[in-house]
Structure formats: C-alpha cells, structure tokens
Chains A and B, each alone.
Chain A
Amino acid sequence: MSKHLQKPPGVPLREEDFEAQRVLSVMYRPKMRYSWATGVAIGRFLKGLRAGKIIGTQCAHCRRIVVPPRVFCEWCFRPVNDWVDLPDTGIINTFSVSYISTDTTKLKTPIIPAVIEIDGTTHAGFLHVIGEAKPETLKIGTRVKAVWAESTKRRGSITDIRYFKPAEWKP
C-alpha cells in the first residue's frame, strides 16, 4: 500500500455471525408510501397505454421524435407541443436474460428485460420485457410487437403492455 499504511483499519464481521445475531444490531423498517402525480407528459403517455396506444412527442426545433414523451426537449431546451401516435412495434435495441429478481433472489424462469426501440422514433424507446420467445433466438435488431392486457384490465400503467413478442417484419 504505502509505507505509512501497512495494516489498514477496519474490523470485518462474519456474515454468519451477523445473521445468527451473535453481534449486536438494531433493526428498523421504514413504513412509508408515496403517491406520485404522473406529470403532464407521462400522464398523457399512461392514458395512451390505457387506450392501447403508444404516444411520443416531436420537438419542433430538432425534429427528433421520442418516447417516453416530454414537454420539453433536453437537447434544444425548448417547449415541445407536438404529440405523435406511434405504432406498437419496434426492434430490440438491447436485451438480457435475467435469472435474478429485483432484490437478487433467484428465478427459475428467466425474465428478458429489453430496451425496445419504437418504430417511427429517432432511435428512442423504453424499458420493457420480452415474452413468447426462446432467449437463444433473440438478437439485437429482432422485430417485436406489443402484447396488450385486455382493455378492461388496463389501468394506465406501463404494465398495460404485458410484454413485447417477436413479430414478423411488415413494412
């Protein structure tokens, strides 16, 4: 390390001792809930999903079409007022085959998270998952289409799209 620092300080605890509560610890579990206003742009996006549509925005200055939509363009830093109905198809920009859940517990059946580049946008998209697909058949560039929840079950959430599935190319 350095001539001044041969033995760095710090006492490592053994994980077994901690879990068996052989070392003292104090537990705390926060009890809070949050309710977020969706905002103007995402509110409209979620309303669109409830109606079975993907909505983006176009900046009048740089002409870029993006999803998720926003009421300003972060490149031009100008207000955005043009709303665009987009198709529910696109390509896989990148994907993973995940054997772990949010808190890293193991999954027997993997989830396939992916960034979906939505057709008609300027290489823009959002995070979602792939379904009805064999992981080994997927590639960057694979065409996909949204599989929607039944209209009565849609509630204005990103999960109104259940997943994207591989789709045939239809120009």
Chain B
Amino acid sequence: MQIKKRVAVVGAGMTKFMRRAQETGKELAFEAVRQALDSCNMRIEDIQSVALGSAPDAFDGVHMKGEYLLDGAGAWGKPYSRSFVGGGTGVFSLIHGWWHVASGLFDTCLVVAEEKMSSCLPHPQTAFLTIFDNMIERPLGPNLIWIFALEMQRYMQTYKIPKEQIAQVAVKNKRNALDHPSAQIAQKVTLQDVLNSEVMAYPVQRLDISPVSDGACAIVLASEDVARKITDSPVWIDGVGWNLDTTYWTNRDLYFPRYVANAARMAYAMAGVRNPRKEIDFAEPYDPFDYKELHHMEGLLLCRKGEAPKLTAEGVTERDGNLPVCPSGGLLGVGNPIAAAGLMKICELFWQLRGEAGKRQIPGDPRTAVAQAWGDLMQIGTVVVMRG
C-alpha cells in the first residue's frame, strides 16, 4: 500500500445532539461546518474537497440526501461525494475523506456527517424495517432491536456474561456524558435503574439503548505540509481499516464481530500498532447498545474474547482507568444521530489527543487512540487509529 501524504485532523465542530432539532439537516450541517472551520481559522475557500456521510434516506423521506445536504455541508462548486455504510458511516466518512488527501489528490478535505432521524413518524424504527431481507425477513415484522437482542443473547450465553456487567457500560457512558456540552441523555443512573428499566426485547432493556437523535459533526483534514501551517498540534490519522461480513447474517456466529477484528488489524498494521492492548491509550468503540461497547472492545483486540465485561466491572474502562473507553459518553450518553454519532467519536479523539477535552480530559497525556463504528446488518466495522 502506498500512501502519498500523511493526513492530519486540524479542526472539529459539532452541534448539540437532540431528540428533535428545530434546524433542518442542511442547517445542522452548516452549523457543524462553521464550528469546525472556525476552530482552525480556515475559510471555506481553503477547502478543496468535501466528503459527506449520512445514513438511510428513509429517515428524512428525502431522496438524494447527499445532494440535498450539499449546500449546508460547504460543498457548493467543489468535488463532493457521499458515503453510506449504515451505522458504520460516521467513521467511514473520515476514511472516505482521508483517501482524498492521502492519495495526494487534495491538500484539504472537509468531512461532514449529519443525521436527522426525528422526521420519520411514528418512529424511525419503521424505516429500519427496510434494511431486512425483503423476501423472507420483512414478512415476519422484525425491528432493529430484535437483531441486537439476538446478538446480545448469543454473546452473553457464549461467555456466560451476567447482565449486571453489561449494564455497567450504560451507567458509565451516561455519567461520562454529563461533561459533554452536546449531550442529549447524560444522566446519573444506577445499575439497578438499568436492570429495572422496561424490557423491550429480552435481554435488551430501555436503558441499554442509545436514543433517537438529530445532530451533525464536521472535521477538517489537511496533508502534513499544509497541516503544519494551520496548527502547532495536528492529530494524525495513522491507520484506517474497514471490512464487511456477509448479509446472510443468520449464517454467521454472532458472538464475535470478525469483520471488526479484520478492520482493526488493517488499521493497526497501517499505524504500526503491534500490540493494541499496550499501545492504545484510550478507545471510542461504537456503543449504540451497552453490550456493543464490550463486543467491539473484543473486536478491536483491546482484550481477550469474553474479557471486556470483566474489565468494565473492574473499572479499567473508566476515564481514570487503565484503558478509558468512550470518555465522551458515547452514543449511550451523548446521543445517536447515526452518521454524526460516528464522527463525534473522531471529534473526541481529536480533542482528547490535543488535551482540549476540558472536564472530560483523560489524565496522563494520551498519545494513541482508536475509534470504531459498526452497522448495516451487523456486518461492517470501520476503524481509525489516531495519534497526537
């Protein structure tokens, strides 16, 4: 693999994450982009290309959503394209932007991720029905919670994981989010609150789940030579990886996300990370459900298979622990506007690695971190390794 230019993140911005925003998707995108450009004193004229990520058009009822969002994303009259890999989109949009610059084609790229889920009535879950196989699954009336429940059950029973250890993740992330000014559902909840919350599809309960959200994030990328002129503290994208497993999801063993491990190995190899357990200082794995954080820690090879629940129970993944996980508050606390939620994790890596995360700052000057998103029919892993 030949990479022509090392790529840096030089700016980041995001809106609040909210259940229902007054702003349109375009307006949210504009606000996030403006924040990102202001954060590095750049103007839209300095941006040579734009990479956008947004999830299903069915949420908005607007087809050609990439084109619809173009003006708000700062892409008027520029090389522009949209990528979409379900829940994996947010982190993938950064990879999409990365190769614009890594290839040497552009010196700068603006990465924008936007989601407005609230427009879809009675509930965006109805739009999710259309991801299932149209011949032999949809007639059974599935919903997205079902497949999470099926995967969670398989994971729990394979390793005999008690529900208490999984619920710890929800408690931690919602508490971490109290320090995030964009957070939608930051709150102090107890383990008992999670375990006593309404059963939706056993073993999934109400407080195991991230909310429906509106919001947008934006990131400014620059090639090494340009980045050094923009800022004294660029954050480097040193490894990227992505990988997809089969759509025949009922033909795989759901206990372990092989495709996440494949994506992680690709990203670690590119970044020269030989031993992720030792070399990764903190992680932002995708946590739309509490068990997913654990599943993804294992997929990211940050611990042994089945070990993540124990590490969490021991406090290793707290912000002041040995391996802080989701210091932002994650999707469970900050919110889950699908594509924007993934890029929020990249924003968190950027702020943490620059020592700018304020009350959320991880102690001990973290240098190397990994962010990951996941989606489609439980089949894609998108992984980025960044260094301060």
Seen from chain A, the residues whose Cβ lies within 8 Å of a Cβ on chain B are 1-13, 15, 18, 23, 28, 30, 34, 36, 38-39, 42, 45-46, 66, 68, 70, 74, 93-105, 110-111, 113-115, 123-129, 135, 139-140, 157-159
Contacts and interface: CB of A to CB of B under 8 A. Distances in A.
Contacts of A36: 134-135
A76 to B, nearest CB: 13
Given A10-B16, A123-B251, A127-B140, A99 B200 contact: yes
Interface of B: 12-23, 28, 31-32, 34-35, 38-39, 61, 122-123, 125-126, 129, 133-137, 139-143, 145-146, 149-151, 153-154, 157, 180-182, 198-204, 214-215, 246, 248, 250-251, 253-254, 351, 354, 356-358, 360
Contact of B146 (A98, A126, A158): A98
Given A4-B39, A104-B125, A114-B150, A74 B248 contact: yes
Contacts of A18: 20
A108 B84 CA distance: 36
Closest 7 pairs (CB-CB, A-B)? A96-B149, A10-B16, A98-B201, A12-B18, A10-B15, A9-B31, A94-B154
Contacts of A94: 150-151, 153-154, 157, 254
Given A8-B181, A15-B20, A93-B154, A38 B135 contact: yes
Contacts of B181: 1, 5-8
B39 A2 contact: yes
B31 to A, nearest CB: 4
A22 to B, nearest CB: 12
Nearest to A100: B200
A113 B153 CA distance: 12
Given A5-B14, A13-B20, A126 B39 contact: no
B248 A12 contact: no
Contacts of A34: 134
Contacts of A97: 199, 201-202
Nearest to A9: B31
28 contacts: A1-B180, A1-B181, A1-B182, A7-B181, A8-B16, A8-B35, A9-B32, A10-B18, A10-B28, A10-B214, A28-B61, A30-B61, A45-B136, A68-B133, A94-B157, A97-B201, A98-B146, A98-B202, A99-B202, A100-B143, A104-B123, A105-B122, A124-B248, A126-B136, A126-B137, A126-B250, A135-B202, A140-B154
A139 B154 CA distance: 10
A157 B133 CA distance: 13
A82 B16 CA distance: 55
B135 A74 contact: no
B135 A98 contact: no
Given A36-B134, A100-B200, A127-B140, A3 B356 contact: yes
B129 A102 contact: yes
A117 to B, nearest CB: 8
